[in-house]
């Protein structure tokens, strides 16, 4: 399964931003992958593009990277990825671009799987004991994903069932139940969605969590499926001058930790992501 051809093209992602799509062809397989970028990205994440320029990233890869990758085995993923890292030479992929790297790497894995005529998960797995993760869905939010919503970026639900289809359907039912409760609460305003499909409404942060908890309880009573609630706080988005500035309160780092611990305990949260600023070293000891 030698790589015969690699193509890169500029496309538009789900947020309307330019990104890259990669095609990799072997003598008996094909893989295609694209690399979008998040609205709220971590300080230490790979740089998406060299000099923040999509066209420059694609042009550089065509000239320098693709010739190095063409002709190697698609089933040697480590060798493929090492060529990209060595050509880049930086810790955050600022020369190649993280999006170029992701699109190429995933396209290579897909091409190798296609060459073996097996699913991607089977190709990359080191064990034959397969399981599907519990699905997590974004049902209500704000932050960098929406205008006019909560400070907390995502209110999440995860459903647990032996049948993954049932779990996915249960998450969808919670999303619909959130809409139903919002329409009852705000009968005279138009409700919208953020860029990930979560509902957006003029709610305070704890009020929103209470609403999602109510929706979860309603769906659980109807279906019997276990559903847990979580948060992606994305606290860096409202961290200003050493404090966490919510619409309804301003907290010191110590108070933010206590606030989050209180929410975890009171609402039995299953997961909490990015509850503190990415630049945690700014806090000093907590």
Domains of the chain in sequence order: 3-124 (3.30.390.10), 136-282 (3.20.20.120)
Is residue 120 a contact partner of residue 113, using CB atoms and an 8 Å limit?
yes
Torsions phi, psi of 271, nearest 5? -155, 145
- Tell me: the pLDDT tens digits for 192-249? 998 889 999 999 999 999 999 999 999 999 999 999 999 999 999 899 999 999 999 9
Cα separation of 173 and 161, whole Å? 14
Is residue 201 a contact partner of residue 139, using CB atoms and an 8 Å limit?
no
Which tokens belong to 85?
Answer: 């890292």
Strands 18-26, 30-35: pairing is antiparallel
* pTM for the model: 0.82
- Tell me: the pLDDT tens digits for 37-63? 776 666 677 888 888 899 999 999 999
Nearest to 24 by CA among 130, 123, 125, 100: 100
Compute CA distances 61 → 25, 73, 155, 156, whole Å.
17, 19, 38, 37
Tens digit of each residue's pLDDT, the chain (286 residues): 899 999 999 999 988 889 999 999 999 999 999 998 776 666 677 888 888 899 999 999 999 999 999 999 999 999 999 999 999 999 999 999 999 999 999 999 999 999 999 999 999 987 777 788 999 999 999 887 677 789 999 999 999 999 999 999 999 999 999 999 999 999 998 889 988 899 999 999 999 999 999 999 999 999 999 999 999 999 998 999 999 999 999 999 999 999 999 999 999 999 999 999 876 655 555 5
Cα separation of 286 and 284, whole Å? 6
């Amino acid at each position: 399964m030698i790589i015969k051809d690699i193509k890169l093209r500029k496309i538009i992602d789900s947020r309307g931003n330019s990104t890259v799509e990669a095609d990799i062809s072997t003598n008996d397989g094909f893989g295609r992958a694209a690399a979008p970028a998040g609205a709220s990205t971590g300080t230490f994440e790979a740089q998406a593009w060299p000099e923040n320029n999509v066209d420059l990233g694609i042009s550089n890869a065509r000239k320098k990277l693709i010739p190095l990758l063409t002709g190697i085995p698609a089933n040697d993923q480590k060798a493929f990825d090492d060529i990209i890292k060595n050509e880049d030479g930086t810790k955050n992929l600022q020369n190649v671009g993280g999006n170029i790297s992701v699109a190429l790497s995933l396209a290579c894995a897909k091409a190798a799987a296609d060459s073996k005529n097996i699913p991607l998960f089977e190709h990359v797995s080191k064990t034959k004991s397969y399981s599907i993760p519990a699905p997590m869905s974004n049902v209500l939010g704000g932050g960098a994903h929406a205008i006019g919503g909560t400070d907390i970026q995502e209110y999440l639900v995860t459903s647990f069932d032996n049948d993954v289809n049932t779990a996915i359907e249960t998450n969808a039912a919670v999303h619909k139940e959130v809409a139903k409760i919002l329409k009852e609460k705000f009968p005279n305003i138009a409700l919208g969605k953020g860029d990930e499909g979560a509902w957006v409404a003029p709610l305070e942060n704890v009020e929103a969590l209470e609403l999602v908890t109510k929706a979860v309880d309603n769906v659980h009573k109807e279906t019997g499926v276990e559903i847990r609630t979580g948060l992606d706080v994305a606290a860096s988005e409202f961290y200003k001058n050493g404090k966490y500035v919510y619409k309804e309160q301003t907290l010191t780092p110590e108070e933010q930790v206590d606030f989050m611990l209180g929410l975890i305990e009171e609402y039995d949260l299953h997961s909490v992501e990015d509850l503190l600023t990415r630049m945690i070293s700014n806090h000093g000891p907590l």
